[in-house]
A and B are shown apart, each in its own frame.
Chain A
């Protein structure tokens, strides 16, 4: 094999591997990326049962209830136009999780229409808002902005 050929073979090998990785990544991303839903979107076009997605909205006041095991909680996440999705979560609630504040739930829709969350993301601290909550209605966003900018200049 001539020198020129070896370089060519190496370049082709590297390109094939990288393009392969890219294609594989693109394919996997289409299937594995977890999409973000607002409650009204989840009601209008529900994702497939069991597919990993995320749901973001406000925790409806008065909806938070703890089940008998002391671990499982249920609450309702509301969005615009009176949309509401019931959520079930077993685990320790995030530090600043309260009724009437914003939340992003990671999980999947169950067959009965309940959203089963594996993980809840709430406001971390007064400077942090989950990025997704930026897409809430203007009123909610304004409320959130007010809450979240306390203490900043």
Chain B
């Protein structure tokens, strides 16, 4: 009954999406006063409620392990802890697609419910576009990936969830990332709406900006969480593998970051109109492309649930329809959008153009590297593209971007001169040079980590320069947001470069009682013991680790055997100090009775994720600042009209 209710809610929601599309389109033709126009907002809100209900029903069948539902039987197990039963609801193809449309419908409901700044015609076009996109994904879900399908006979027991996914990180990583991914659909619909009505104005950018910021914050958090999850759960000691699945999440982030900055130019200075619209289309296109890559089975990974070719073609069809359609509309209408305000090269706009171009170039590099193996496979040549490609080629564009990022915020809008900020320029350049020389003397460091360390130091200082000469209390919250985010980039860069430059690795075969060392750590294997959990058994290595003259600490990394489904995983242990992490992995036994232990000492590696959190925090501050000043503006303009009315009546 519960499952059928969920399915019915989903069908109803799809019907409402049709209403939203038709209502919005008719409103555009017949004027916004028509009766149908009044229906699009309620349709979007109700649709959000229905899909949320449907998702709640899915959580419910997973919570009670209803084994007559095929999805539960295939992906869950009655012996799992409740939190993993729930997170298992989106640890599979159908459930994750339902999560996707849930986020999309809720985002649509939210814009329909609270967005009041857009001109009504653009709003109608936006909601119609949102309904149109949602409709495709409802069709996909209902026609080829029904999450509520029943089994003819209830299964005796579920098949279980991939043990790698039985982790607390999974409970948060996909929903966070999806809110970001699918939140960009709002920017897409806004862009399409503005293209249809040809109203690309600063007011439009101001309305769009909080939505981009919100999606971007979640995307950032999702990437940070996913990176940390891969770092400690896979037991490979790396935080980023340039895996196609990771790239699929990085590409929308790059596009959204560019969009965020260009929307800022449009909002403040009425320039970069067409470019902002283009990025709005591209950002969500990257989200959809990512979904296609990850979910269609063209890539194999822990994320690729669907191996059904029909599903792959379905997503590809949706992708072509939406991206192709939006680009066609863009090509037809872009010429009709008039040129924005002009600016000189040495200006805030000029710096932001460089930022946008560099981000787009990095996006192109990542996109080509991700798609290249798929292209060559068509010619039966199998290649894989990894760090030797992405790191240097990405860096060629990343470092100039970082340099501009350090000084760009110091420039004034419209027209400025380099001479005015020559002191700051000299300071940043001096820091950079000093950093390069200092770190080069410190030890033999490869070029990229060396540049990374030097840029990180210079950037960390430069990110606070915009505060110079200002009364701190009067600095707007949004500016604090920018400073925090840029400082976060510096912190993250330092973590990455330090990990690349100073990491030490030790691989040892130890007898019980044997010792080894890695970096400043002395490590001793005390014993190897069997351990049992609710749905696994494991071998745990009891290690005593000691940092220089510090107190010894006991840790116990495990090599786990899950039995539903049967699979082995490594449970690494991390010992975190303020200046880095010790990473310990337990291997198997070698033939002579010794045990393999793999250890890393990674100085300042945690800064990568702290930096990521700072970036997200910067986004939150910017969002709060924008929304607050917007509310204040609205309050003031309301008071002005009220007073005028009072005066007129008096």
Contact = CB atoms under 8 A, between A and B. Distances in A.
Interface of A: 1, 3-4, 6-7, 10, 13-14, 17-18, 20-22, 24-26, 28-29, 32-36, 52, 54, 65-66, 69-71, 90-93, 95-96, 106, 124-132, 135, 151, 153
Contact of A71 (B163, B275, B509): B509
B266 to A, nearest CB: 13
B302 interface: yes
Nearest to B508: A71
A92 B585 contact: yes
B396 A24 contact: yes
Given A6-B343, A34-B388, A124-B567, 4 more contacts: A6-B339, A24-B365, A25-B368, A95-B568
B554 to A, nearest CB: 21
Contacts of B300: 128-131
Contact of B587 (A18, A54, A92, A130): A92
Contacts of B369: 25, 29
Interface in B527-583: 559, 565-570
Contacts of B509: 69-71
B588 interface: yes
B438 interface: no
Given A17-B361, A25-B364, A128-B300, A95 B570 contact: yes
A54 B364 contact: no
A35 B162 contact: no
B613 to A, nearest CB: 30
B594 to A, nearest CB: 5
B419 to A, nearest CB: 21
Interface stretch (B102-110, B193-201, B378-386): B378-386
Nearest to B562: A125
B594 A6 contact: no
B393 A35 contact: no
Contacts of B376: 33
Contacts of A106: 384
A129 to B, nearest CB: 7
Contacts of B521: none
B82 interface: no
Contact of A17 (B275, B360, B596): B360
Interface hub of B360, B364, B372 (most chain A Cβ within 10 A) = B364
A21 B254 CA distance: 15
Nearest to A132: B382
A66 B565 contact: no
Contacts of B393: 24-25, 28
B567 A70 contact: no
Contacts of B362: 21
Interface in B582-634: 585, 587-588, 590-592, 594, 596, 598
Interface in B404-448: none
**Pairs A-B, 9 closest by C-beta atoms:** A70-B509, A95-B568, A92-B587, A36-B382, A21-B361, A32-B389, A33-B383, A70-B590, A125-B567
A22 B388 contact: no
A36 B383 contact: yes
Contacts of B596: 70-71, 92
Interface of B: 74, 159, 162-163, 275, 299-300, 302, 339, 342-343, 353, 356-358, 360-362, 364-365, 368-369, 372-373, 376, 381-386, 388-389, 392-393, 396-397, 507-509, 559, 565-570, 585, 587-588, 590-592, 594, 596, 598
Contacts of A92: 507, 570, 585, 587-588, 596, 598
A38 B238 CA distance: 28
Contacts of A151: 159, 565
10 contacts: A17-B361, A24-B393, A33-B372, A54-B384, A70-B590, A90-B507, A92-B596, A125-B565, A125-B567, A151-B565
Contacts of B357: 13-14, 17-18
Nearest to B568: A95
B364 A18 contact: yes
A20 B361 CA distance: 8
A68 B634 CA distance: 76
A125 B162 contact: yes
A6 B342 contact: yes
A86 to B, nearest CB: 18
A26 B382 contact: no
Nearest to B560: A95
A71 B507 contact: yes
Q: Of residues A3, A66, A92, which shows the largest number of chain B Cβ atoms within 10 Å of its Cβ?
A: A92
Nearest to A16: B357
Contacts of A36: 382-384
B159 A34 contact: no
Nearest to B589: A70
Contact of B384 (A1, A33, A127): A33
A92 B596 CA distance: 7
A41 B52 CA distance: 54
B592 A32 contact: no
Contacts of A14: 275, 356-357, 360
Given A10-B275, A92-B598, A22 B364 contact: yes
Contacts of A7: 339
B514 to A, nearest CB: 10
Contacts of A125: 162-163, 565-567
B163 to A, nearest CB: 8
Nearest to A54: B384
Given A17-B357, A69-B509, A128-B300, A3 B342 contact: yes
A82 B384 CA distance: 26
A151 to B, nearest CB: 6
A100 B583 CA distance: 32
A62 B566 CA distance: 25
A4 B369 CA distance: 35
Nearest to B362: A21
A127 B383 CA distance: 22
Given A25-B368, A96-B568, A130-B300, A32 B587 contact: no
B302 A18 contact: no
| Most chain B beta carbons < 10 A, residue from A66, A96, A130 | A66
